[in-house]
Amino acid sequence: MLVYYSPIFKKHTPPFRHPEAPDRLDHLLEGAREAGAEIKEPVMREDVWHIIESIHDKSYVELVRRLCREGHAEIDGDTYISSGTCDAAALAVSAIINAVERKETALIAARPPGHHAGVAGRALSAPSQGFCIFNTAAIGALYGEEGVAVLDIDVHHGNGTQEILYDRDLLYISTHQHPLTLYPGTGYPEEVGEGKGEGYNINIPLPPHTGDDVYIKVIDEIITSVLRQYNPRLVIISLGWDAHKEDPLADMKLSLKSYLYVFETVLRLQKPVIFLLEGGYNREVIRRGTKALIRLADAGEFAPGESQTSTDVHTLEKFEEIIKEVKSYVGRYWRL
């Protein structure tokens, strides 16, 4: 599997200790090299700023560019900008467009992440931009136009992606820790999309401490059948490793088995799949996960290297209640 990487992605640097830091990519690359992946530099597109401004408000893009010129700044309490942020974010957008155009399965090892970035920066009712600058996944999806699906498995709801795609008939599915218990506070089942996008926005909130047994059930009972019916031409996976049980920022209990199970489900569609790095803050999980992903994509090897986790009875009760609601909304638009 091709891995798009450039040292420019490391030029987005925090002014103080921050979980979303350049060394995340060193661990990703280590995993990619161990798996024998081909690493390729993305090409910066000349029209990249024009493309970014076709999705984000011009005034927001101008603000970001001004803050890049000025050097270190905080856009909010969570999200920083440095002098290298604009080059990194623009190259991330270029990379996803390179991959969409090549129609080839690839991993984009880019940062800053993007799925919390809405049209004007902060999306929906979120208190911050959650480390994100431009919405790389949504820009890639809209550039690919018809038949693109975005599957967001980051532990946080992709509120920015939802906001941008909400009235489009492009499929957006997000699994995330329940909004009552985690930033950004959106991602309820009743948020189904509007206009011609109605039915194309699918939120699957999961209670804290959800394990592999339950997550795999969600994939089998909802995600697989919706994806088959939608029959995407290309799939973008917003890949956050932060739903892993060892992530320091969230409370889910997934092992790499759940991750590989999703990857395998999507790869089985036999369509190009673009894996785009979003969150995930345990460096060791990033390394091992990346290695396992590439081995799966290249050699069909299903090797999570971790035993399956299970969900406790209390969490399971909460899950049953939530999933009933999810199915009632999804079932209005898709056969389950």
78 versus 242: smaller Cβ distance to Zn ion:
242
187 versus 193: smaller Cβ distance to Zn ion:
187
Binding positions for Zn ion, rule: CB under 5 A: 154, 156, 240, 242, 279
Angle among Cα 145, 110, 247 to the nearest 5 degrees reads 110
23-34 vs 283-299: helix crossing angle, rounded to 10? 30
Alpha-carbon dihedral 326, 328, 333, 336, rounded to 10 degrees = 80
- Residue 277 CB, shortest distance to Zn ion, in Å, is 11
User: 50 catalytic, yes or no?
Assistant: no
115 versus 291: smaller Cβ distance to Zn ion:
115
- Residue 110 CB, shortest distance to Zn ion, in Å, is 15
154 versus 306: smaller Cβ distance to Zn ion:
154
Report whether 142 contacts 170 (CB < 8 A).
Answer: yes
Cα separation, 55 vs 63, whole angstroms: 15
197 versus 279: smaller Cβ distance to Zn ion:
279
Cα separation, 278 vs 73, whole angstroms: 21
Catalytic-role residue among 27, 115, 116, 178: 116
193 versus 240: smaller Cβ distance to Zn ion:
240
Question: Beta 171-177 vs 148-152: how paired, if at all?
Answer: parallel
Query: Residue 1 corresponds to which tokens in the numbers above?
Result: 């599997």
- Residue 125 CB, shortest distance to Zn ion, in Å, is 17
Report whether 156 contacts 177 (CB < 8 A).
Answer: yes
If phi over 0 gives left and psi between -120 and 50 gives alpha, with beta otherwise, what is residue 300?
left
Report whether 183 contacts 131 (CB < 8 A).
Answer: no
Cα separation, 92 vs 311, whole angstroms: 36
One DSSP character per residue, 154-221 reads: SSS--HHHHHHHTTSSSEEEEEEE-TTTSTT----TT----GGGTT-EEEEEE-TT--HHHHHHHIII
Catalytic residues: 116
